[in-house]
Amino acid sequence: MPKRPTPRGEHLRRALAQEAARIMVEHGIGDYGLAKRKAAQRFAVAAGAVLPKNSEIEAALLEHQRLFGADAHAESLQAQRRAALAAMRRLREFEPRLVGAVLSGTATRHSPVQLHLFADCAESVAMTLIDAGIAHEVTEKRVRMDPARVRAYPGLRFQIGDQPIEATVFPEDGIRQAPFSPVDGRPMRRACAPEVEAMLGAAPAETLIA
């Protein structure tokens, strides 16, 4: 049976989670593992110590954003979701889904919008962007599809307004299986355009960003 954390150990975990959250907000780090390691270095925590789970850091991140600059965070998040919806409407033929921090509400002002697209040929997404006059960069994204399998998928990075967008292109049947979340290890939550419209209170036909 695993040992239960001592009160001192629990206090340290909370402190590390809070420090990792601060680092993510102030330094624009989106990687929970990296923020966790930097927090451990900051607190001079010995190697092998029990560090907070990513889900604990996410909770601390939400609390940090609520306590510090809540209005600015809400405004930034709204702008990111508006950019997400504009991109989703532009790429509607690829059944886009919003994922990640912009969907969960934990995004910092540095966070890119993350989209999942579905097409058996990633070049078709690139051609749609080219036809729309949107410059892009070809990328690759490694995602965990189950506890034992990590796969690389093609991606594209571009901007809508001044907001960076990172799109991962899955096969068309990939819409039926979401990859595992790096936060809690469960299938990632995905939101379609009408769900994002509902978050924003936007009219379905409204043009948000040219």
Residues 72-105: pLDDT tens digits? 889 999 999 999 999 999 999 999 999 999 999 9
Per the prediction, the chain carries an average pLDDT of 88
CB atoms within 10 A of CB 135: 9
Residue 204: what pLDDT? Answer: 55
User: Mind listing the pLDDT tens digit for each residue in 10-53?
Assistant: 888 889 999 998 998 888 888 888 988 899 888 888 766 678 89
Q: What's the DSSP call for residue 46?
A: P
- Reported as a pLDDT band with limits 50, 70 and 90, residue 202 is low
d(CA 121, CA 104): 29
Name residue, tokens 């209005």: 71
206 pLDDT higher than 90 = no
Name residue, tokens 């990590």: 150
Do residues 129 and 138 lie in contact, with contact meaning Cβ atoms separated by under 8 Å?
no
CB atoms within 10 A of CB 106: 24
Q: For residue 115, what is the enclosing H or E element?
A: strand 113-118
Average pLDDT over residues 145-171: 93
Return all residues near 61 (Cβ < 8 A) that are at least 6 apart: 21, 24, 25, 106
